[in-house]
Structure 1
């Protein structure tokens, strides 16, 4: 088990098998010399025969040159505009500060480039509606635009969803909980995540994941935010009125059917024992389902109530576990005569042949590699696993973020003034 985990980590994140490149491979350019690109795109691209990381541009050319040398990227452009004007580039990966996503995604699709866009897609719902409903994306042979919620593409997450949306053994969702933590000190006090003007904040960073999870688990958009509260640990800058973005956010949502969802996102988690020390918690989603009637015979009725928990949906290649517990009950004349529990634990590192997916995958494939395969399939107009994040989904995600900030009594992230 330990050897298998080490192999998955080594092959998935550090040294994947090198795939020979096809002549029609998609040539990617990177907007920004970001810290996330190596794990999110550069390394996965090595294992994909139809992807080449061909160029990079950064605000500082010397930084871009050093980045290109480190990651064997052949072309360095002096500006983002120069990269978008490069006719040899087919697609761009945008991992700029959140506040720049809207502008450069719009510029990229106007330049007829496919776009893999880091989450959150935009700063607010107004920007998201403008971007994803833009006429450029409605035209024939329009560029592909994908908000990079990578965890959704992994078989583990889809297996988890199938277990809670199983109509044969599971009732409707009653209550859901999703958490995402980063230990205190992981991000410095001057990190751009704390800059409101760049659309930072816990909900706009790690918080996008548990919110996305809740929306998929509930299968309904939250119609009401029952509670939302941000935590601010950093002081305003001396001599200014600038308020840093929140370091943590908690929220509770309710759907039209009455199901509830609870979100915890903390980018500066303290130890539960000593507050001065960093804390840690696995990414986690837990779901309680309504009791389901399985029918009756001989005067007895049988029902089942399921709970399901997924551990580490964000990095399932390293390790994950899906715990399911079904509580069965037999009643006669409304009285319980027998009850028992059936627990099980599952893992899904690759698609099962029984899934009927067009992408099989390997145990060491990361969420990012699964995502990249689907992006390529979409560009090449091929069927794949069937997993995707469409534009309306991205708009609804930003609408839920806006409503959360409003409930917390906080300002929405600022809207870009850029127009084509």
Structure 2
């Protein structure tokens, strides 16, 4: 692409877009938000005015077909991730797609196949992965300081009210605690283990039909027992953490998802305990760094392709083990 800015079009006037892409882009001179489309054109126009976006497309399809756009940010509900991301890649656009990648693993495989065929980038927005904190976690695990791993756990709990228009409580749109929250600790533990999980059991607390308000899943990674839990029930306290236990030590991280808002890494080895904070920008700034770098021919991003498919396969398997249907099936 040379030195021209990466021009971004937004699918959806979503609440997450300012934090995830608009503000990070505004801190750089090599990325420009040029257009937005929403289901409601008036809402798109208001959103564009609020955020200084020059153009408003009448439809999603019009935005995707705009030859002056290089990267599509897909911040729509999961039901729209696969169809519109595929359409964008076929039109020659790269895609940064919010998590979860798709409604189910079959859709994820279709997205990855199109990305490979078109030579376009299709990234799943696991922004936490690109912050230096997670690189530090991986450094500790790979160093062998903890010894052979013997157990892991990860949790993400946030109250998400069941109010009109909230997609997390809408089965048809891809709602559910595991889809919105549990996908994070699942993704973390997969990377820490360096292998894919076997689902031993899963138990959900159900709200609306088919919607998991909470989920607890027992897994094994190459024989290492692990637990993933998430909860969006009314009144639940905010919790975001994971723990890795080895024969020689223990690693615990508080707030691995938004570490720039404050976090703590606690490492205990052979009776000695240290506490660290790892400097960095917002996770979304680091994610945009990685996406722009690959668009310009740099290092490949890690949260797309086979990784995205594997995370959706595990999500599908957890839903099945809990007696619920994977989304869209």
Q: Name the TM-score, length of structure 2 as normaliser.
A: 0.95
**Mapped pair 1:181 → 2:157:** yes
- Paired residue for 1:286? 243
Tell me the secondary structure at the aligned position of residue 374 of structure 1. helix
1:6-53 CA distances to partner (integer Å, 9 max, x unpaired)?
Answer: xxxxxxxxxxxxxxxx96001100001100000000000011221001
Gaps spanning 5+ residues in structure 2: where? none
Gaps spanning 5+ residues in structure 1: where? 1-21, 235-242, 270-277, 292-304, 328-340, 351-364, 416-420
CA 105–281 in structure 1, closer or farther in 2 if over 3 Å, else same: same
Which of 185, 204, 214 is matched with 1:230 structurally?
204
Higher relative helix content:
2
Which of 116, 121, 124 is matched with 1:137 structurally?
116
Residues 41 and 372 in structure 1, CA contact (< 8 A), matched pair in contact too: yes
Which of 179, 190, 199 is matched with 1:204 structurally?
179
Which of 207, 222, 226 is matched with 1:261 structurally?
226
CA 53–84 in structure 1, closer or farther in 2 if over 3 Å, else same: same
Which of 114, 132, 156 is matched with 2:133 structurally?
156
Per-residue deviation, 1:255: 2.3
Alignment of 1:268-283 (within 5 A): 268=233, 278-283=235-240
Residues 194 and 244 in structure 1, CA contact (< 8 A), matched pair in contact too: no
Larger Rg: 1
Tell me the secondary structure at the aligned position of residue 206 of structure 1. helix
**Mapped pair 1:345 → 2:275:** yes
Residues 374 and 388 in structure 1, CA contact (< 8 A), matched pair in contact too: no
Residues 240 and 256 in structure 2, CA contact (< 8 A), matched pair in contact too: yes
**Mapped pair 1:245 → 2:221:** no
Residues 29 and 92 in structure 1, CA contact (< 8 A), matched pair in contact too: yes
Which of 295, 305, 314 is matched with 1:400 structurally?
314
Residues 31 and 94 in structure 1, CA contact (< 8 A), matched pair in contact too: yes
Which of 157, 164, 188 is matched with 1:213 structurally?
188
Q: Distance in 1 between matches of 2:237 and 2:211?
A: 21
Residues 176 and 217 in structure 1, CA contact (< 8 A), matched pair in contact too: no
- Paired residue for 1:37? 17
Residues 93 and 117 in structure 1, CA contact (< 8 A), matched pair in contact too: yes
Q: CA RMSD in A?
A: 1.6
Q: Distance in 1 between matches of 2:207 and 2:312?
A: 25
Tell me the secondary structure at the aligned position of residue 220 of structure 1. coil
